[in-house]
Structure 1
Amino acid sequence: MSVHTARLKVPHGSGATTAARTAARSALRLWGFTNTDWLNDATLVITELVTNAIRHGGGLLALDLRAVRGQVTVSVTDRTRVRPHRRRADLTGGRGLSIIDALSRAWGVRPNHAGKCVWVLLPTSARPGLA
Protein backbone atom coordinates (compact mmCIF):
# COMPACT_ATOMS: atom_id res chain seq x y z
CA MET A 1 0.00 0.00 0.00
CA SER A 2 1.37 3.36 -1.04
CA VAL A 3 1.02 6.16 1.51
CA HIS A 4 2.17 9.70 0.87
CA THR A 5 2.04 12.52 3.40
CA ALA A 6 3.20 16.10 3.36
CA ARG A 7 3.01 18.98 5.80
CA LEU A 8 3.48 22.10 3.77
CA LYS A 9 5.17 25.12 5.26
CA VAL A 10 3.14 28.11 4.16
CA PRO A 11 4.50 31.62 4.69
CA HIS A 12 2.34 34.14 6.50
CA GLY A 13 1.30 37.17 4.54
CA SER A 14 0.02 38.00 1.11
CA GLY A 15 1.76 35.11 -0.66
CA ALA A 16 0.34 32.34 1.54
CA THR A 17 -2.44 31.21 -0.76
CA THR A 18 -0.24 31.15 -3.86
CA ALA A 19 2.53 29.30 -2.03
CA ALA A 20 0.09 26.71 -0.65
CA ARG A 21 -1.52 26.15 -4.05
CA THR A 22 1.84 25.77 -5.82
CA ALA A 23 3.40 23.46 -3.23
CA ALA A 24 0.31 21.25 -2.93
CA ARG A 25 -0.05 20.89 -6.69
CA SER A 26 3.63 19.94 -6.98
CA ALA A 27 3.30 17.32 -4.24
CA LEU A 28 0.19 15.79 -5.81
CA ARG A 29 1.85 15.61 -9.24
CA LEU A 30 4.93 14.00 -7.70
CA TRP A 31 2.67 11.37 -6.13
CA GLY A 32 1.23 10.49 -9.54
CA PHE A 33 -1.94 12.61 -9.63
CA THR A 34 -1.51 13.96 -13.13
CA ASN A 35 -5.06 14.39 -14.48
CA THR A 36 -5.22 18.12 -15.21
CA ASP A 37 -8.95 18.46 -14.46
CA TRP A 38 -8.56 16.63 -11.15
CA LEU A 39 -5.52 18.74 -10.23
CA ASN A 40 -7.41 21.94 -11.06
CA ASP A 41 -10.30 20.89 -8.81
CA ALA A 42 -7.96 19.83 -6.00
CA THR A 43 -6.04 23.09 -6.28
CA LEU A 44 -9.25 25.11 -6.11
CA VAL A 45 -10.33 23.26 -2.94
CA ILE A 46 -6.91 23.85 -1.37
CA THR A 47 -7.10 27.54 -2.29
CA GLU A 48 -10.51 27.87 -0.63
CA LEU A 49 -9.37 26.05 2.53
CA VAL A 50 -6.26 28.19 2.92
CA THR A 51 -8.12 31.41 2.16
CA ASN A 52 -10.81 30.59 4.72
CA ALA A 53 -8.19 29.77 7.37
CA ILE A 54 -6.48 33.10 6.77
CA ARG A 55 -9.64 35.24 6.55
CA HIS A 56 -11.88 33.58 9.13
CA GLY A 57 -9.76 31.18 11.16
CA GLY A 58 -7.23 33.43 12.82
CA GLY A 59 -4.44 32.40 10.46
CA LEU A 60 -3.21 29.24 8.80
CA LEU A 61 -1.17 27.00 11.09
CA ALA A 62 -0.74 23.89 8.95
CA LEU A 63 -1.62 22.45 5.55
CA ASP A 64 -1.42 18.66 5.39
CA LEU A 65 -1.87 16.31 2.45
CA ARG A 66 -2.33 12.55 2.70
CA ALA A 67 -2.78 10.08 -0.14
CA VAL A 68 -3.63 6.45 0.53
CA ARG A 69 -4.76 4.07 -2.23
CA GLY A 70 -5.65 6.97 -4.49
CA GLN A 71 -7.69 8.75 -1.81
CA VAL A 72 -6.44 12.25 -1.05
CA THR A 73 -7.27 14.10 2.15
CA VAL A 74 -6.40 17.77 2.55
CA SER A 75 -6.39 19.25 6.07
CA VAL A 76 -5.98 22.84 7.18
CA THR A 77 -5.43 23.78 10.81
CA ASP A 78 -6.21 27.28 12.03
CA ARG A 79 -6.44 29.14 15.33
CA THR A 80 -10.15 29.26 16.06
CA ARG A 81 -12.72 26.68 17.08
CA VAL A 82 -15.47 28.53 15.21
CA ARG A 83 -16.96 26.11 12.70
CA PRO A 84 -17.16 27.17 9.07
CA HIS A 85 -20.61 28.22 7.91
CA ARG A 86 -22.08 29.37 4.63
CA ARG A 87 -22.26 33.08 3.98
CA ARG A 88 -24.32 34.86 1.42
CA ALA A 89 -22.16 35.15 -1.70
CA ASP A 90 -21.22 38.70 -2.67
CA LEU A 91 -18.43 40.46 -4.52
CA THR A 92 -15.94 39.80 -1.69
CA GLY A 93 -16.57 36.08 -1.21
CA GLY A 94 -18.97 33.65 0.38
CA ARG A 95 -18.57 30.87 -2.18
CA GLY A 96 -15.87 28.78 -0.49
CA LEU A 97 -18.00 26.13 1.19
CA SER A 98 -20.18 25.74 -1.90
CA ILE A 99 -17.06 25.11 -3.96
CA ILE A 100 -15.74 22.63 -1.39
CA ASP A 101 -19.12 20.83 -1.32
CA ALA A 102 -19.21 20.59 -5.10
CA LEU A 103 -15.65 19.33 -5.55
CA SER A 104 -15.18 17.01 -2.57
CA ARG A 105 -16.42 13.58 -1.63
CA ALA A 106 -16.81 14.66 2.00
CA TRP A 107 -15.53 17.29 4.41
CA GLY A 108 -15.71 18.02 8.10
CA VAL A 109 -14.29 19.82 11.08
CA ARG A 110 -12.59 18.52 14.20
CA PRO A 111 -11.34 20.58 17.14
CA ASN A 112 -7.72 20.29 18.21
CA HIS A 113 -5.36 21.90 20.72
CA ALA A 114 -4.61 24.88 18.46
CA GLY A 115 -8.16 25.59 17.26
CA LYS A 116 -9.66 23.37 14.58
CA CYS A 117 -8.81 21.26 11.59
CA VAL A 118 -10.97 21.39 8.46
CA TRP A 119 -10.47 18.29 6.34
CA VAL A 120 -11.60 17.47 2.81
CA LEU A 121 -11.67 14.07 1.12
CA LEU A 122 -11.17 14.60 -2.58
CA PRO A 123 -12.78 12.30 -5.13
CA THR A 124 -10.49 9.79 -6.79
CA SER A 125 -11.00 11.22 -10.28
CA ALA A 126 -12.05 14.39 -12.04
CA ARG A 127 -15.69 15.47 -12.11
CA PRO A 128 -17.86 13.36 -14.41
CA GLY A 129 -17.70 14.59 -17.98
CA LEU A 130 -14.30 16.22 -17.56
CA ALA A 131 -12.04 13.20 -17.75
Structure 2
Amino acid sequence: MSDLTAYLDMPLGVHAPTAARRAVTAVLRGWGFRDEEWLEVAAVVTRELVTNAVRYGGGCVEFRIEARQGRVVLSVADTSPALPRHRDPDVDEGRGITLIEASPTRWGVHNYDDGKQVWVELTPCPGVSVDQPRSTTGRHHEHHSTHRTGL
Protein backbone atom coordinates (compact mmCIF):
# COMPACT_ATOMS: atom_id res chain seq x y z
CA MET A 1 0.00 0.00 0.00
CA SER A 2 1.35 3.44 -0.88
CA ASP A 3 1.37 6.33 1.58
CA LEU A 4 -1.89 8.26 1.47
CA THR A 5 -2.98 11.47 3.22
CA ALA A 6 -6.26 13.39 3.25
CA TYR A 7 -6.74 16.82 4.87
CA LEU A 8 -10.16 18.20 5.73
CA ASP A 9 -10.98 21.58 7.24
CA MET A 10 -14.00 20.89 9.41
CA PRO A 11 -16.78 23.41 9.95
CA LEU A 12 -17.11 24.47 13.56
CA GLY A 13 -20.38 23.52 15.13
CA VAL A 14 -22.57 20.62 16.08
CA HIS A 15 -22.43 18.98 12.64
CA ALA A 16 -18.62 18.72 12.46
CA PRO A 17 -18.33 15.34 14.28
CA THR A 18 -20.93 13.72 12.03
CA ALA A 19 -19.32 15.17 8.89
CA ALA A 20 -15.89 13.91 10.01
CA ARG A 21 -17.29 10.47 10.84
CA ARG A 22 -18.78 10.13 7.36
CA ALA A 23 -15.63 11.48 5.72
CA VAL A 24 -13.23 9.09 7.48
CA THR A 25 -15.35 6.09 6.55
CA ALA A 26 -15.62 7.16 2.90
CA VAL A 27 -11.90 7.95 2.60
CA LEU A 28 -10.74 4.73 4.26
CA ARG A 29 -13.12 2.61 2.15
CA GLY A 30 -11.83 4.38 -0.95
CA TRP A 31 -8.29 3.47 0.09
CA GLY A 32 -9.21 -0.21 0.37
CA PHE A 33 -9.94 -0.64 4.09
CA ARG A 34 -13.00 -2.90 4.14
CA ASP A 35 -13.45 -4.41 7.61
CA GLU A 36 -16.74 -2.96 8.92
CA GLU A 37 -15.93 -3.33 12.63
CA TRP A 38 -12.56 -1.65 12.15
CA LEU A 39 -14.19 1.16 10.13
CA GLU A 40 -16.69 1.67 12.96
CA VAL A 41 -13.83 2.06 15.46
CA ALA A 42 -12.20 4.60 13.13
CA ALA A 43 -15.51 6.47 12.90
CA VAL A 44 -16.03 6.54 16.69
CA VAL A 45 -12.46 7.71 17.35
CA THR A 46 -12.88 10.41 14.69
CA ARG A 47 -16.15 11.59 16.19
CA GLU A 48 -14.55 11.90 19.63
CA LEU A 49 -11.45 13.72 18.33
CA VAL A 50 -13.54 16.23 16.39
CA THR A 51 -16.10 16.66 19.18
CA ASN A 52 -13.32 17.51 21.65
CA ALA A 53 -11.68 19.94 19.20
CA VAL A 54 -14.98 21.74 18.52
CA ARG A 55 -16.06 21.79 22.16
CA TYR A 56 -12.76 22.66 23.85
CA GLY A 57 -10.32 23.70 21.13
CA GLY A 58 -11.81 26.65 19.33
CA GLY A 59 -10.76 28.17 16.04
CA CYS A 60 -10.44 26.21 12.84
CA VAL A 61 -10.37 22.41 13.09
CA GLU A 62 -8.16 20.47 10.67
CA PHE A 63 -8.76 16.74 10.36
CA ARG A 64 -6.08 14.52 8.81
CA ILE A 65 -6.22 10.87 7.75
CA GLU A 66 -2.92 9.15 7.00
CA ALA A 67 -2.27 5.60 5.81
CA ARG A 68 1.36 4.55 5.79
CA GLN A 69 2.57 0.97 5.38
CA GLY A 70 -0.87 -0.38 6.31
CA ARG A 71 -1.19 1.72 9.48
CA VAL A 72 -3.75 4.49 9.87
CA VAL A 73 -3.26 7.65 11.92
CA LEU A 74 -6.15 10.05 12.50
CA SER A 75 -5.39 13.53 13.81
CA VAL A 76 -7.25 16.71 14.63
CA ALA A 77 -5.61 20.10 15.05
CA ASP A 78 -7.20 23.11 16.70
CA THR A 79 -6.05 26.51 17.94
CA SER A 80 -6.08 25.78 21.69
CA PRO A 81 -2.81 24.83 23.39
CA ALA A 82 -4.77 23.17 26.25
CA LEU A 83 -4.01 19.46 26.43
CA PRO A 84 -6.84 16.91 26.44
CA ARG A 85 -7.70 15.63 29.89
CA HIS A 86 -10.01 13.15 31.53
CA ARG A 87 -13.29 14.69 32.62
CA ASP A 88 -15.99 13.32 34.85
CA PRO A 89 -18.41 11.65 32.43
CA ASP A 90 -22.06 12.58 32.40
CA VAL A 91 -24.87 11.92 29.96
CA ASP A 92 -23.58 14.29 27.26
CA GLU A 93 -19.82 14.59 27.68
CA GLY A 94 -16.64 13.52 29.40
CA ARG A 95 -16.10 10.17 27.68
CA GLY A 96 -13.87 11.23 24.75
CA ILE A 97 -10.39 10.46 26.08
CA THR A 98 -11.66 7.27 27.75
CA LEU A 99 -13.11 6.04 24.43
CA ILE A 100 -9.96 6.99 22.54
CA GLU A 101 -7.75 5.16 25.04
CA ALA A 102 -9.93 2.05 24.77
CA SER A 103 -9.77 1.82 20.97
CA PRO A 104 -6.41 2.66 19.37
CA THR A 105 -2.96 1.27 19.94
CA ARG A 106 -1.37 4.68 20.54
CA TRP A 107 -2.34 8.33 20.83
CA GLY A 108 -0.56 11.56 21.63
CA VAL A 109 -0.46 15.32 21.34
CA HIS A 110 1.88 17.59 19.35
CA ASN A 111 2.26 21.35 19.48
CA TYR A 112 0.82 22.60 16.20
CA ASP A 113 0.97 26.23 15.08
CA ASP A 114 -0.55 28.15 18.00
CA GLY A 115 -2.54 25.13 19.20
CA LYS A 116 -2.23 21.38 19.30
CA GLN A 117 -2.75 18.28 17.21
CA VAL A 118 -4.18 15.17 18.86
CA TRP A 119 -3.37 12.00 16.95
CA VAL A 120 -4.48 8.38 17.20
CA GLU A 121 -2.84 5.38 15.55
CA LEU A 122 -5.46 2.72 15.03
CA THR A 123 -4.86 -0.99 15.40
CA PRO A 124 -4.08 -2.55 12.00
CA CYS A 125 -7.12 -3.24 9.87
CA PRO A 126 -7.84 -6.95 9.39
CA GLY A 127 -7.01 -8.01 5.85
CA VAL A 128 -4.50 -5.18 5.26
CA SER A 129 -0.82 -6.10 5.49
CA VAL A 130 1.45 -4.06 7.72
CA ASP A 131 4.92 -3.77 6.22
CA GLN A 132 6.98 -3.27 9.41
CA PRO A 133 7.06 -5.27 12.64
CA ARG A 134 5.06 -3.79 15.51
CA SER A 135 5.97 -3.63 19.18
CA THR A 136 3.62 -5.67 21.35
CA THR A 137 4.25 -3.71 24.54
CA GLY A 138 0.68 -2.41 24.64
CA ARG A 139 -1.11 0.89 24.44
CA HIS A 140 0.49 4.11 25.52
CA HIS A 141 0.11 7.86 25.35
CA GLU A 142 2.81 10.13 23.97
CA HIS A 143 3.29 13.88 24.11
CA HIS A 144 5.69 15.49 21.66
CA SER A 145 6.51 19.07 20.91
CA THR A 146 6.73 19.77 17.20
CA HIS A 147 5.89 22.79 15.10
CA ARG A 148 3.96 22.73 11.85
CA THR A 149 5.77 24.45 9.04
CA GLY A 150 2.81 24.69 6.69
CA LEU A 151 0.75 22.54 4.39
TM-score by length of 1: 0.90
Are the equivalent residues in 2 in contact too, given 1:8–1:24 (CA < 8 A)?
A: no
Task: Kindly report which structure 2 residues correspond to 1:46-125, keeping only aligned pairs within 5 A, or say none.
Answer: 46-125=46-125
RMSD over aligned CA atoms reads: 1.3
Unaligned 5+ runs, structure 1:
127-131
Q: Alpha-carbon deviations, 1:87-120, whole Å to 9, x = none? A: 1111121111111001001000011213000000
In 2, the alpha carbon distance for the partners of 1:77 and 1:39 equals 21
Misfit runs of 4+, over 6 Å: none
In 2, the alpha carbon distance for the partners of 1:59 and 1:113 equals 12
Is the partner of 2:75 in helix, strand or coil? strand
Kindly name which structure, 1 or 2, has the bigger radius of gyration based on alpha carbons.
Answer: 2
Task: Please tell me the residue identity of whatever aligns with 2:87.
Answer: R
TM-score by length of 2: 0.79
Structure (1 or 2) with the greater helix fraction: 1
In 1, the alpha carbon distance for the partners of 2:23 and 2:60 equals 15
- The structure whose RCO (Cα within 8 Å, separation 6+) is larger is 1
Are the equivalent residues in 1 in contact too, given 2:9–2:60 (CA < 8 A)?
A: no
Are the equivalent residues in 1 in contact too, given 2:73–2:119 (CA < 8 A)?
A: yes
Q: Alpha-carbon deviations, 1:24-46, whole Å to 9, x = none? A: 11000001111000000010000
In 2, the alpha carbon distance for the partners of 1:14 and 1:89 equals 19
Unaligned 5+ runs, structure 2:
127-151
Is the partner of 1:6 in helix, strand or coil? strand
In 1, the alpha carbon distance for the partners of 2:20 and 2:11 equals 8
Q: Percent identity?
A: 44
Aligned residue pairs: how many? 126
